[in-house]
Structure formats: structure tokens, C-alpha cells
């Protein structure tokens, strides 16, 4: 009886403490996420003014969300896509920017939980730059020692490219 | 060591001695060889080393303090469960605070912040010290051990980051001609550096002891 009471009491106090911390940090974390997304997109599309969300594609398992990006006066600039491939440390959120011909403008990460110093090498400019200008990614070199992380990025980029091609096909059909 | 610590606890060593014990004479990494996994993984860069060290220090101080506070009411049979709940609570709090206020650090340490829960340094101090000592010395012990952990991480990172990636604190040190030895950022390279640092520490301590005698 005493065992359960003590353990339950400790769990209760700790839960209360966490609830308190969470109530303070949750809005700030959400705000940080929105800010990170905005910053990332404006790095990929410096002239972007408007983001229109594109329809979901239930057949594309890795796709999270996609936007048609427009500049001043509604001039189309390309597509911003967020995909969620599985890396070594769980799901990562990868943002890929495409031009109107479905070629990559740049890739960046919203979040990831890859092994620091090993898997996180996929964040390095020298790795990410390999994707720029491509619409297929067979030629991208994986990072040795971080194959799982590299493969996740490549598969994510591939899923994003397929999504953009679907949207482009839908548009030209309409 | 357990026995010795209990003896010291009864005689009440000075708080300063508790502190220096953690940082130097019983350094959790360099002497006790605890917490090898986070040590090797987060000491590839100075920024991560300091972030990880201070996060673990914050958890250690809080958990030691809380555990010393409840040490007399927690029955022996459930003490490990109780300690883990307390430690996990503080780790989660630190994780949330980092995500809210130090987003860069939180991103680069990623998985290793939640993994502080299973860092054996923290449970070891709870078992060996905080569950047997008063609140204030326990908090100081947590601070000393945490700073000792940070010191070891920094020593490792100062060697590994320049050799392994040609940078220090994320700043490039050398020109383009410098080819970094990627081996240094791997865990095997980390063990190599750790061994050298431990040998050096032992050498210095032996010499100090001989001169003192």
C-alpha cells in the first residue's frame, strides 16, 4: 500500500511539474516551428509572396504537404514540398523546393533526429547541393557511414518529385 | 568507493570537497568511465559538448536534489522506479525548455537529450550519493559530477573537432589544404582520444601524489 502511494505521489508531482513546463513552452515551440518553416521557404524562394496549399495524394505515403509558390502579381515560381521519410533516428521533416519544370531548387530540414555528427552530415551544404538541378536522384552520392540517413533523404526527395510531377500533370490535364 | 562515500558522508566533508571530487578526483568519465555512449557521440564538436554537458548538469542537480528530498519516504523496493520517474521528468522538462528557447542546440543534439534519462551517471549518483545524503551536499554532488562530465566532453571535443572536421566551435580553423581525419569524429577515434586523455590525467595525478607525499 505504502509502495503504491509513494510511487503514485512522486509520479503525480512530476506530472504536475511537466504540465507546468509544457504549458509555458508549448506555444513557444509551435511558434518556433512556424517561424522555421517560413524562414526555410523564403530561403528556397527569395521572391515568394504567396503559398497555395496543393491537394493531398493518399498514394504518396511520404508526402506531408505541398504548396504552389507564387511571387509578386501571382507569377508562378515553383513548388514547396514537405516530405517525411524515415531516417536512422525516426521520421525527419524534409523540405524540397522545385522550379516549374520539377527540378530541385534546394533541400533543407525542418526537423530530424539523426545521430549527431554522423547522420546529421546530411545537413551539410556539400551534401544538399548535390540535389540542386536534378529531377531524378540516382546519381546522388550517399555519405559513407550515414547510408540510412542519406537513403532516407533520397527517397524523400524522390517522393517529393513524384508529387510535383503529379500536380503538374493534373494542371496540364485541367 | 560506496563504503568510502558513506564514511565521508558521516564525517560531513566540506561542500567544496564534494564539488572537486566530482570534477576531478572522481570524474564520472575520466575516472569512473560512466556514460560512454553520450560522451563519445556528443564530443565531436565543442558546441554540442558544452550543450550536452550543461543539460546533463541541470538534470543531475535537480534529480539529486529531489531524490535526496524524498530519500527517507521512498521504500527500498521501489526506489529505482521512483528515481527513474524523477529523472525522466527533469529530462523531459529540459528537453521542452531547449526546444522552446535554444532551438539550434536542441536540433543539433536531437536524440541525445531524451537519452539523458538512461545516462548511467545520473542513476549512479542517485544510487550512490543522493539516496544516502542530505539535500544540499546532494545538489553540490550533482553540480560537481555534471561539471566533471562537461569538462571531459570539452577536453574530448577540443581535440576531436579540429582534427576530425577542421573546425572549433563551428568555425573553420585551417585553410582548404587541411584534410580533416574523419576517423576522429567516429566513436573509435573518440575512444582513442579518451584513452590518451585518461593516461594524461593519471600521469598528472600520480605525479601530484608523489610530490605531495
Task: Give residue-wise pLDDT tens across range A6-60.
Answer: 899 999 999 999 999 999 999 999 898 888 888 888 888 888 888 888 888 888 8
Q: Provide the chain B residues 34-63 that lie in CB contact (below 8 A) with chain A.
A: 41-42, 44-45, 48
Q: By the CB < 8 Å criterion, does B100 face chain A?
A: yes
Residue B9 pLDDT greater than 70, yes or no: no
Q: How far is CA B96 from CA A23, A170, B102, B113, B150, in A?
A: 10, 42, 10, 10, 21
Q: Per the structure block, which three cell numbers stand in for B111?
A: 536524440
Identify all chain A residues contacting B100, using CB atoms and an 8 Å cutoff: 24-25, 28-29, 32
| Cβ-defined contact of A7 to B41 (cutoff 8 Å) | no
| A114/A55 Cα distance (integer angstroms) | 30
Helices (H) and strands (E) in chain B, counts: 9, 2
φ and ψ at residue B23, rounded to 5 degrees: -75, -40
Task: Give residue-wise pLDDT tens across range B70-81.
Answer: 999 888 888 999
| A63/A79 Cα distance (integer angstroms) | 13
| A170/A104 Cα distance (integer angstroms) | 19
8 Å CB contact between A128 and A107:
yes
| A134/A98 Cα distance (integer angstroms) | 9
Q: How many domains does chain B have?
A: 1
Give the nearest chain A residue to B62 (CA atoms).
A14
8 Å CB contact between B130 and B72:
no
The partner residue sitting opposite B73, judged by closest CB among A6, A22, A114, is: A6
Q: By the CB < 8 Å criterion, does A12 face chain B?
A: no
Residue B1's pLDDT is what?
45
Q: By the CB < 8 Å criterion, does B103 face chain A?
A: yes
Residue A139's pLDDT is what?
87
Residue B12's pLDDT is what?
57
| Cβ-defined contact of A112 to B110 (cutoff 8 Å) | yes
Residue with cell 513548388: A79
Residue B10 structural domain: 2-166+175-212
Task: Give residue-wise pLDDT tens across range B106-158.
Answer: 877 877 899 999 898 999 999 999 999 999 999 999 999 999 999 999 999 99
Residue B61's pLDDT is what?
96
pLDDT band per the 50, 70, 90 thresholds, residue B210: confident
Q: By the CB < 8 Å criterion, does A25 face chain B?
A: yes
Residue A56's pLDDT is what?
84
Task: Give residue-wise pLDDT tens across range B151-189.
Answer: 999 999 999 998 888 888 877 777 777 777 878 888 899
Residue A85 pLDDT greater than 50, yes or no: yes
Residue B7's pLDDT is what?
46
Amino acid at each position: 500500500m505504502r509502495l503504491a502511494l509513494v510511487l503514485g505521489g512522486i509520479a503525480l508531482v512530476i506530472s504536475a511539474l511537466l504540465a507546468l513546463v509544457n504549458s509555458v513552452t508549448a506555444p513557444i515551440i509551435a511558434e518556433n516551428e512556424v517561424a522555421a518553416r517560413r524562414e526555410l521557404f523564403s530561403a528556397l524562394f527569395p521572391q515568394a509572396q504567396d503559398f497555395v496549399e496543393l491537394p493531398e495524394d493518399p498514394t504518396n505515403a511520404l508526402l506531408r504537404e505541398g504548396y504552389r509558390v507564387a511571387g509578386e502579381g501571382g507569377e508562378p515560381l515553383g513548388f514547396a514540398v514537405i516530405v517525411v521519410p524515415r531516417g536512422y533516428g525516426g521520421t525527419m521533416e524534409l523540405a524540397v523546393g522545385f522550379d516549374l519544370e520539377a527540378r530541385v531548387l534546394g533541400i533543407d530540414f525542418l526537423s530530424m533526429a539523426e545521430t549527431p555528427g554522423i547522420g546529421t552530415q546530411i545537413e551539410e551544404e556539400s551534401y544538399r547541393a548535390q540535389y540542386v538541378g536534378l529531377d531524378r536522384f540516382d546519381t546522388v552520392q550517399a555519405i559513407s557511414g550515414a547510408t540510412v540517413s542519406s537513403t532516407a533523404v533520397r527517397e524523400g526527395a524522390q517522393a517529393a518529385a513524384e508529387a510535383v510531377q503529379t500536380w503538374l500533370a493534373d494542371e496540364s490535364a485541367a | 568507493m560506496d563504503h568510502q562515500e558513506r564514511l565521508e558522508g558521516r564525517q560531513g566533508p566540506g561542500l567544496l570537497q564534494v564539488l572537486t571530487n566530482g570534477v576531478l578526483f572522481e570524474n564520472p568519465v575520466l575516472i569512473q568511465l560512466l556514460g560512454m555512449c553520450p560522451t563519445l557521440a556528443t564530443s565531436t564538436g565543442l558546441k554540442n559538448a558544452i550543450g550536452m554537458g550543461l543539460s546533463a548538469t541541470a538534470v543531475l542537480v535537480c534529480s539529486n536534489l529531489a531524490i535526496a528530498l524524498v530519500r527517507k519516504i521512498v521504500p527500498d523496493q521501489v526506489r529505482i522506479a521512483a528515481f527513474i520517474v524523477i529523472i525522466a521528468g527533469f529530462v523531459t522538462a529540459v528537453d521542452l525548455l531547449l526546444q522552446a528557447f535554444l532551438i539550434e542546440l536542441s536540433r543539433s543534439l536531437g536524440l541525445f537529450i531524451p537519452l539523458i534519462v538512461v545516462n548511467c551517471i545520473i542513476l549512479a549518483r542517485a544510487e550512490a550519493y543522493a539516496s544516502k545524503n542530505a539535500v544540499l551536499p546532494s545538489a553540490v554532488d550533482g553540480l560537481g559530477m555534471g561539471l566533471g562530465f562537461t569538462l571531459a566532453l570539452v577536453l574530448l571535443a577540443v581535440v576531436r573537432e579540429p582534427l576530425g572536421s577542421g573546425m572549433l566551435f563551428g568555425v573553420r580553423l585551417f585553410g582548404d589544404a587541411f584534410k580533416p581525419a574523419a576517423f576522429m569524429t567516429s566513436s573509435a577515434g573518440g575512444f582513442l582520444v579518451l584513452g590518451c586523455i585518461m593516461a594524461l590525467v593519471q600521469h598528472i595525478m600520480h605525479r601530484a601524489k608523489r610530490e605531495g607525499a
